[in-house]
């Protein structure tokens, strides 16, 4: 069985600090947030409170 892991905050920081187009950066971070959300949904089952905390923590990056 495949083990699902969250994309760590260090990777978000690495993307945020990358010298790439800001719209490409936003698209990449959005994809990373979606991936983390899917992992959290899988882990949480029917519970949403933990999921929302994780999502807000990773997607609250200021990239512009």
Question: For residue 14, what is the enclosing H or E element?
Answer: helix 9-16
Helix ranges, 17-62 (H): 22-44, 49-59
Query: What are the tens digits of pLDDT across the range 11-54?
Result: 999 999 999 999 999 999 999 988 988 888 887 776 555 555 55
Q: Is 63 exposed, middle or buried (0-12, 13-18, 19+ CB in 10 A)?
A: middle
Separation CA 37–CA 58 (nearest Å) = 10
**Can you give the residue ranges of every domain in the chain?**
9-59
- Dump pLDDT digits (tens) for 18-29: 999 999 999 999
């Amino acid at each position: 069985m495949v083990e699902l892991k969250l994309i760590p905050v260090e990777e978000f920081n690495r993307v945020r600090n990358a010298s790439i187009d800001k719209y490409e950066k936003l698209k990449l971070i959005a994809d990373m947030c979606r991936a983390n959300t899917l992992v959290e949904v899988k882990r949480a089952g029917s519970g949403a409170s933990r999921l929302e905390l994780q999502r807000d923590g990773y997607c609250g990056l200021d990239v512009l």
